[in-house]
Structure 1
Amino acid sequence: MLDRTCIALALVALSAVAGCGGGNGDAHSEPLASAFGDGARLSDVIGHPTWLDPDDEASGGCSYPADRSVRVTGITVVAIDRYDETSQGATGNYYVQDTLAQSAYVPEEGVPTPAFGMTIFNPSFSPPDLRLAPGDVTDVSGVIMEFAGPVVGRFPFCRTLPEIGGTMSFRFEGGEVQPTTLPLSALLGYDNARPYIGMLVRVENVQIAGAPSDSSGRYTARINMGAGVESSDIVRISNELYDLKSLGPVLEGSTFKAVSGVLTYFYGFRIAPRSPADFEL
């Protein structure tokens, strides 16, 4: 009859196992690799925008940073843009967040650590037939760039949208990220809001100001951010991720306990809910 201890030792895959007749069977001394991989964290690759110029409204003399190669591991897919609001192919972006990010705002400790989110611009996949879903933990290898806006109209004051173009691969599933609750003041102005681009955020006590705007399929509603706020600094609710106009709640004149969504940027900041469930009445 085989000794049960000998059988158990034979099943250990972390190191070569000594024979039952000798050796002490000690476990391998080297620690296992992190489940999130050994690549960079998003907060490591998102730089501070030192190229901003508050005197260059037309962005005519900006010193944008050069594109650079990055490898980021252990990031969770929080949303996938599959809704073509413009009927012109406006889909394909993936929004990811560091799986280890803080998920709650604690007033006595201040705003949670930012720079945990990213837009993955129209990625490719390895293997090519890979199909990802929200909650999948992935890696991405590619190039991080600071998108300055369309050639016909750059973002003002040398502002940019950080995004990665590259290849995504699957690591494991079940990495759901909860929205990070922020005070609305944390999103007031480009300098304040930029670190939260791509993150799944939640803002409380949201009042809609005026009637929603509907232009070329882009349906947005302004959040009441108080008096004296510049138009370009007003955060809007947008239909980038689902048919907000047809399937969402009535926005005009509404007040919500909270609204969640991915924070995006395109000439201004927007919260893009993923479904009607992102509105708390």
Structure 2
Amino acid sequence: MNGFLVWWNNLVILIQDWWNVSVVTEVSAWWADFQNTFYRCFIEDNRWRYLTRGLGNTLLITLFALIIGVVVGVVVAIIRSSYDKNKEDMRPGFGKTVLALLNAICKVYLTVVRGTPVVVQLLLGVFVIFLFLGDVTVACIIFGFNSGAYVAEIIRSGIMSIDQGQFEAGRSLGFNYVQTMWHIIIPQAFKNVLPALANEFIVLIKETSVAGYAGVIDLTKGGEIIRGRTFEAFMPLIAVAIIYLAVVMFFTWLVGILERRLRTSER
């Protein structure tokens, strides 16, 4: 019996030694491979600059696209909401005809932009419509008008949520319709939809990941360039995903702060 126990203990020790050596060897090999891949993907030839340059272009396109989108969205929202609120009360004439025509144009714009893929819009912009402009500029314009279609509906919902008494209050102060919209309605509507606009900004950051189709070196395209030069897919794409996640989480945190402050100011 004692001999068996000695044999068993020796066997257990042998297995443990083999396991420890095997695990250490595997971990060491994996770590060496990880370091080598990391060096080839990011350190060698300063390939990390593709990601930083791409991130800069991504944020630049997102910022200017949001500005264009808000401007276009406000104009479209005012036209659409003005027509919806006043089409029954307006007398037939030039003003009503012009407003109806502008409303029809806005509806076509919303239908086309929201009904077609942004990649197709981007390719048309770069290779057909704006041949004389740079790729980044075209991307800002196309993503701006694409975002404007969604911003328009956000702002329009904010305008339509304002009580009719606010319009009457503007008229009682001697404001015309445009002055009432600018000084009374639009500020309240913006306050109501500001969190939704902030979320649109976050969505826009992720949508710009297709800008590489038009030759723009955005964050995703930077990762693709590294993959093409190193033949390593995992690490560059994981790095791109982590950067996108960090940026989105940062802006989501800012949106949360904004929403809390808006709720506090309403009390």
Higher relative contact order (CA 8 A, sep 6+): 2
Higher gyration radius (CA)? 2
The normalised TM-score by structure 2 is 0.19
The normalised TM-score by structure 1 is 0.19
The structure with the largest helix share of the pair is: 2
The structure with the largest strand share of the pair is: 1
